């Protein structure tokens, strides 16, 4: 076959050749349109004539190319030519046979349907980085070719070996996957492996990292039991991506748990956390909500550092948004955080979340929060069911472009037998030292009515006696004794108007006082103290119920 004749028939070749004939080989100079340029002359005596394209042999040119070239013709793509590079890569191929039979590598590369399309449309097509069974990767361009004296056209297949590039890209992707898996593993290991379940709340949380194209962020959540029935709920988000953000998140979560043990008001916890965040990494900014639930008050007291508002769904389906102002994100410094509160009555559900749940590109974040409110209004069921429904309603999938953390807590409305397991009783301590025997008598009667075992009742009365005596000696009015039972524990709490917190100390044998708190710490499962809003303190202890 005469490949030289075919070269002149490649699309555009004739038009370019004609243009050269009409205009010459060099464009006309500016201002001389239509005039013929003077031919370039060489000062040497023997100037070599430049080669003419028509004088070159297409077979020789294609044969010397390092790329793989094959020429097929007709609807069956019969093989007309393969160059030396093609034969070296896949072996010598017989001419005249259909490509489907003699060029199986084209089928492996998925080129046969593409060649049909090129032959019909007369338009070139390119596919990138296709892999064969021999593990080679090629970028292939299929170009239509017009064949003289043949009604059927052909297709020129040009394949560049990009195996090295493909392997390098795969190594890069594998490295990115390992880094991502490391960050996800670190992130999940720093989150609670199992949430604490308070007596008065039902809680569930979920964390979903972004899709494979999104780096892992620094979202976190936590549930911390503070004692005396109180529970801290925390959710936060470290700005940034990757292992560094996850590491900062882990340090902040650990710090929150440590500060929570001090039983400080929410705004004071965030104040301490703000200073620590700047010390950890001044370039990393984090948002956080720290909320405390007290079953005796039926409210959620919270402070927010640049975080999205807490949402509360009441039993009738109405959704309320925590509207108190929020402070700037953690790590910015120079701001005095304040605490707000929102009602959490029995039957209500509170939702804390990160921005990945509601933030969408080309959409205001307030629209996302409003969509979450609508979804929450119809979300009923257990906390875990509510978590799952909110993720589905907001369109969060495995390919989501951002991390998502959601923390749901419910204050269940108890009825029937469950309600019988939760009781409260309180006594105002009036009249000076005579309040102590009244407190003991009150405690004995209440614990008997709650049908506690004799041993637990006696321990409870002893703890009441010591806590009341401590308050009478070191506190100031008003004083109050509160007894509370749940399905798992007995809680005894004494409040007074003095904000000096007691501490456990070792009393010398000759000391006549100073043993009360030590006695309480010895007989109770746990004890603690905290300052109360508006001044004063609360000292409490807990006893685990048998069985």
Contacts of 43 (CB under 8 A, 6+ apart): none
Cα 292 from Cα 222, distance rounded (Å): 12
**Residues facing 90 on adjacent strands:** none
Higher per-residue pLDDT: 64 or 511: 64
Look at residue 303 and tell me whether its pLDDT is greater than 50. yes
Q: Please, which contacts does 257-263 make with residues 24 or more away whose CB atoms are closer than 8 Å?
A: 257/222, 257/224, 260/224, 260/226, 260/232, 260/234, 263/226, 263/227, 263/230, 263/528, 263/529, 263/530
The CATH class for the domain spanning 178-411 reads alpha beta
Structure-token match 């490949």, residue found: 3
Q: Taking the CB of residue 448, how many other CB atoms lie within 10 A of it?
A: 12
| Contact in structure between 197 and 379 (CB atoms under 8 Å) | no
* pLDDT score for 200: 92
Closest CA to 516 of 456, 468, 459: 468
Dist CA 414 CA 399 (whole Å): 39
Check pLDDT > 70 for residue 33: no
Same fold? 178-411, 422-544: no
The alpha carbon torsion through 348, 353, 357, 363 (nearest 10 deg) reads: 90
pTM of the predicted structure, to 2 decimals: 0.72
List the beta bridge partners of residue 406.
206, 353
State the DSSP H helix or E strand holding residue 462, giving kind and residue range, or none if neither.
helix 454-474
Residues 124 and 156: their CA atoms lie apart, in Å, by 9
Q: Lowest-pLDDT range, 1-10, 267-276, 357-366, 450-459? A: 1-10
Domain boundaries, the chain: 58-161, 178-411, 422-544
* Averaged pLDDT, 85-89: 90
pLDDT at 419: 83
What is the band of 125 on the pLDDT scale with cuts at 50, 70, 90?
very high
Helices H / strands E in the chain, number of each:
16, 20
Q: What average pLDDT score do residues 77-94 get?
A: 90
Residue with more model confidence, 11 or 126:
126
> Which pLDDT value is given to residue 414?
86
Residue 17 has pLDDT above 60, yes or no: no
Q: How confident is the model at residue 451 (pLDDT cuts 50, 70, 90)?
A: very high
Residue whose C-alpha is closest to residue 478's, from 541, 540, 536, 439:
536
Return the SS3 of 475.
coil
Question: Is the peptide bond prior to 315 cis by the omega test (within 30 degrees of 0)?
Answer: no
CB 178 within 8 A of CB 370: no
pLDDT band at 150 (very low <50, low <70, confident <90, very high): confident
Average pLDDT, the chain: 85
Contacts of 374 (CB under 8 A, 6+ apart): none
pLDDT at 513 exceeding the cut of 50: yes
Confidence (pLDDT) at 12: 42
DSSP 8-state class, residue 96: T
CATH superfamily of 58-161: PAS domain (3.30.450.20)
Q: What percent of the chain has pLDDT over 90?
A: 53
Q: Which of 47, 53, 54, 82 is nearest to 68 (CA)?
A: 82
Say how far apart CA 242 and CA 215 lie, in whole Å. Answer: 6
Whether the Cβ atoms of residue 107 and residue 187 lie closer than 8 Å to each other: no
Which CATH class for the 422-544 domain?
alpha beta
In this prediction, residue 5 has a pLDDT band, given cuts at 50, 70 and 90, of very low
Q: What is the C-alpha separation between 429 and 476, in angstroms, rounded? A: 11
- From residue 410, give the alpha-carbon distance in Å to each of 291, 305, 404: 14, 23, 20
Which residues neighbour 155 within 8 Å (Cβ) at sequence distance 6 or greater? 71, 72, 73, 77, 115, 118, 119, 142, 143, 144, 145
Tell the burial category of 134 from Cβ atoms under 10 Å away from its Cβ (0-12, 13-18, 19+): exposed
d(CA 314, CA 135): 61
Residue 349 near residue 202, CB atoms below 8 Å = no
Interatomic CA distance for residues 373 and 261, integer angstroms: 32
């Amino acid at each position: 076959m005469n490949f030289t004749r075919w070269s002149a028939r490649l699309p555009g070749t004739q038009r370019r050749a004609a243009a050269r004939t009409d205009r010459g080989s060099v464009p006309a100079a500016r201002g001389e349109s239509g005039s013929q340029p003077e031919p370039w002359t060489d000062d040497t005596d023997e100037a070599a004539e430049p080669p003419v394209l028509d004088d070159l042999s297409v077979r020789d040119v294609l044969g010397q190319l390092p790329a793989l070239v094959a020429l097929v013709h007709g609807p069956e793509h019969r093989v007309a030519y393969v160059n030396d590079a093609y034969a070296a890569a896949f072996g010598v191929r017989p001419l005249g046979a259909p490509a489907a039979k003699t060029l199986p590598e084209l089928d492996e590369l998925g080129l046969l349907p593409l060649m049909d399309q090129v032959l019909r449309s007369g338009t070139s097509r390119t596919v990138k980085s296709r892999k064969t069974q021999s593990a080679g990767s090629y970028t292939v361009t299929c170009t239509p070719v017009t064949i003289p004296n043949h009604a059927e056209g052909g297709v020129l297949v040009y394949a560049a070996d990009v195996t090295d590039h493909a392997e390098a890209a795969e190594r890069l992707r594998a490295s990115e996957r390992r880094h991502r898996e490391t960050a996800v593993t670190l992130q999940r290991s720093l989150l609670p492996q199992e949430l604490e379940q308070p007596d008065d709340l039902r809680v569930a949380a979920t964390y979903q990292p972004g899709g494979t194209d999104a780096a892992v962020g620094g979202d976190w959540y936590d549930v911390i039991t503070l004692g005396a029935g109180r529970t801290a709920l925390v959710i936060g988000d470290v700005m940034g991506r990757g292992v560094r953000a996850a590491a900062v998140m882990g340090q902040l979560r650990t710090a929150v748990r440590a500060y929570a043990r001090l039983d400080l008001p929410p705004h004071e916890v965030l104040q301490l956390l703000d200073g620590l965040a700047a010390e950890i990494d001044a370039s990393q900014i984090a948002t956080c909500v720290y909320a405390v639930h007290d079953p005796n008050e039926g409210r959620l007291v919270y402070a927010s550092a640049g975080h999205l508002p807490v949402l509360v769904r009441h039993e009738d389906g109405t959704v309320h948004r925590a509207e108190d102002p929020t402070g700037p994100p953690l790590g910015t410094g120079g701001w005095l955080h304040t605490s707000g509160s929102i009602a959490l009555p029995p039957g209500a559900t509170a939702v804390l979340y990160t921005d990945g749940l509601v933030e969408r590109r080309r959409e205001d974040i307030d629209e996302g929060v409003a969509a979450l409110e609508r979804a929450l209004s119809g979300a009923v069921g257990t906390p875990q069911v509510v978590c799952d429904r909110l993720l589905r309603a907001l369109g969060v999938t495995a390919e989501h472009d951002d991390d998502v953390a959601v923390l749901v807590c419910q204050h269940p409305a108890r009825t029937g037998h469950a309600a019988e397991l939760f009781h409260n009783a309180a006594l105002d301590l009036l009249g000076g030292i005579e309040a102590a025997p009244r407190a003991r008598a009150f405690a004995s009667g209440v614990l008997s009515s709650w049908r506690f075992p004799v041993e637990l009742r006696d321990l409870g009365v002893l703890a009441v006696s010591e806590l009341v005596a401590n308050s009478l000696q070191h506190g100031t009015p008003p004083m109050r004794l509160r007894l509370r039972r749940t399905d798992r524990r007995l809680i005894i709490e004494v409040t007074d108007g003095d904000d000096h917190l007691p501490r456990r100390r070792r009393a010398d044998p000759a000391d006549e006082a100073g043993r009360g708190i030590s006695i309480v710490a010895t007989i109770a499962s746990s004890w603690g103290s905290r300052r109360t809003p508006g001044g004063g303190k609360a000292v409490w202890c807990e006893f685990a119920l048998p069985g």
